[in-house]
Amino acid sequence: MSEKKKLRVATTSLAGCFGCHMSFLDIDERLFTLLEHVDFDRSPLTDIKTVTPGTDIGIIEGGLCNAENVHVLREFRANCKVLIALGACAINGGLPAQRNSLSLPAIFDEVYHSGFGLTNSLIPNDPELPLVLDQVHPIHEVVKVDYFVPGCPPSGDAIWKVLTDLLAGKEPTLQHGLMHYD
Amino acid sequence: MNPTFTLDGRAIPFLPGQTILQAATAAGVFIPHLCYHPEFKPHGSCKLCTVKVNGRHTASCTMQAAPGMSVESETEEINGERRALTQMLFVEGNHYCPSCEKSGDCQLQATAYHLGMMSPHYDHFFPNRPVDASHPEVLLDFNRCILCSLCVRASRDVDGKNVFALSGRGIDTHLIVNAASGKLADTDFTLADKAAQVCPVGVILKKRKGFAVPIGERTYDKAPIASVAVAGEK
């Protein structure tokens, strides 16, 4: 059997809930088939902290709600040949973007000062904390994104379909039943 | 025998006075549309139903069929334009399907699926559109309005109440409620109104009825909009 070179895949969750990564694991035993074709680079599955230059596929869950999200996204774009937006939040900001019509001071006030049951309220300002963006943005508004997989989360079957289409060198498509925005 | 025109090479019979969209639907051919509803006079504003008639773009919901017309609809060019229009509708409003009660029953969403819309493509406007929860039975969530004017037409032409209107021009066009306060509670709108039934998206919603039908078991979860529409729209 000829050893075909494995593709290197990196994944991350930005302003997401890890639901898309959980759904990714829903491909179940097909993970073994996938591992015949790919190696994982930076990912919550490996705990590697940086993306290796020349990585073939980067998969991004979640949108951009703070400066660190933007930094990580740019690192993925700089080091991945193909970038995939996985799930509703990466595609349109999703649930976190529903804060976009509110001002940041109003949100901080509600969350840290005037909200129910708060005592000794302080807005966290440790220099290690990434600065919050004034609005949550989908990732294609900051870097070029090659493919999008909609869904909240996309089903394991939808993720599998897109990955196998890509591995087969085809343009990924989702037919009725796999294409979902909810 | 009825006269015919050709739609993507297929002969479509029509009755005098029928539009291209009506004749196509009757013949079992789906043409995407959002502001058209079979029970109302066409508005011709969403442009999703655009086709090429003898090489020229026109809205098929307002264009009357004529013998020998050559109509193109399912082409890469036309569907690409329809997809771009749909993407613009998504970014101009706040369309968060996962938290919308209309998801799965929404014609905007189902049309986007039909057109293979994998991303919104454009930058989002994230407009600030406060909801109107004043009415005891109905919630108005303007974030999802696509300005199809179906509620305007239903309230004016069927209910005789004129509860809704489109105000402003161009990108500033928005749905308003005809009351001095601007609130739905200060109109004679009721759940029994035709206008309460026609919203293709999730703007006009019955209160306290959330997620009675689970996600995954809704209209367009079961069948794509193309087959639902030609089988007879509600």
B233 pLDDT tier (thresholds 50, 70, 90): low
User: Which residue range(s) make up the domain with A158?
Assistant: 7-99+131-167
Within an 8 Å CB–CB cutoff, is residue A149 touching chain B? Answer: yes
Q: What is the mean pLDDT of residues A57-69?
A: 98
Residue in A148, A172, A182 closest to B215 by CB: A182
Predicted local distance difference test score (pLDDT) of residue B234: 44
Predicted local distance difference test score (pLDDT) of residue B229: 93
- What would the pLDDT profile of B134-173 be if each residue is shown by its tens digit? 999 999 999 999 999 999 999 999 999 999 999 999 999 9
Asked, for residue A124, whether it belongs to a domain, the answer is: no
pLDDT > 70: percent of chain B: 99
Residues from chain A that touch B113, judged by Cβ atoms under 8 A, are: 176, 179-181
ipTM of the complex, rounded to two decimals: 0.93
Residues from chain A that touch B98, judged by Cβ atoms under 8 A, are: 88, 94-95, 152, 181-182
Question: Domain residues of chain B, as ranges?
Answer: 16-74, 99-223
User: Does the structure show a pLDDT above 60 at A2?
Assistant: no
Span B16-74: which CATH code? Answer: 3.10.20.740
Tokens of B155: 């309230």
The CATH architecture assigned to B99-223 reads: 2-Layer Sandwich (3.30)
Residues from chain B that touch A152, judged by Cβ atoms under 8 A, are: 97-98
pLDDT > 90: percent of chain B: 96
Measured CA to CA, the distance from residue B149 to residue A1 in angstroms comes to: 63
Number of domains chain A is built from:
1
Asked, for residue A112, whether it belongs to a domain, the answer is: no
Predicted local distance difference test score (pLDDT) of residue A120: 80
Predicted local distance difference test score (pLDDT) of residue B133: 98
| Beta-carbon separation of A138 and B120 below 8 A | yes
Q: What is the mean pLDDT of residues A78-96?
A: 97
Predicted local distance difference test score (pLDDT) of residue A1: 46
- What would the pLDDT profile of A94-136 be if each residue is shown by its tens digit? 999 999 999 999 999 999 998 888 888 888 889 999 999 999 9
User: Does the structure show a pLDDT above 60 at A167?
Assistant: yes
Asked, for residue A108, whether it belongs to a domain, the answer is: no
A3 pLDDT tier (thresholds 50, 70, 90): low
| Beta-carbon separation of B119 and A91 below 8 A | yes
CATH number of domain containing A48? 3.40.50.700
Within an 8 Å CB–CB cutoff, is residue B79 touching chain A? Answer: no
Mean pLDDT of chain B: 96
Residue B58, helix vs strand vs coil:
strand
In chain A, which residue's Cα lies nearest the Cα of B214?
A: A182
- Provide the chain A residues 47-106 that lie in CB contact (below 8 A) with chain B: 85, 88, 91-95, 97-98, 100-101
Which of B113, B215, B225 has the most A C-beta neighbours within 10 Å, making it the best mutation to test the interface with A?
B113
- What would the pLDDT profile of B109-137 be if each residue is shown by its tens digit? 999 999 999 999 999 999 999 999 999 99
Helix B76-92 to helix B107-114 angle, to the nearest 10 degrees?
140
Within an 8 Å CB–CB cutoff, is residue B224 touching chain A? Answer: yes
Predicted local distance difference test score (pLDDT) of residue B176: 98
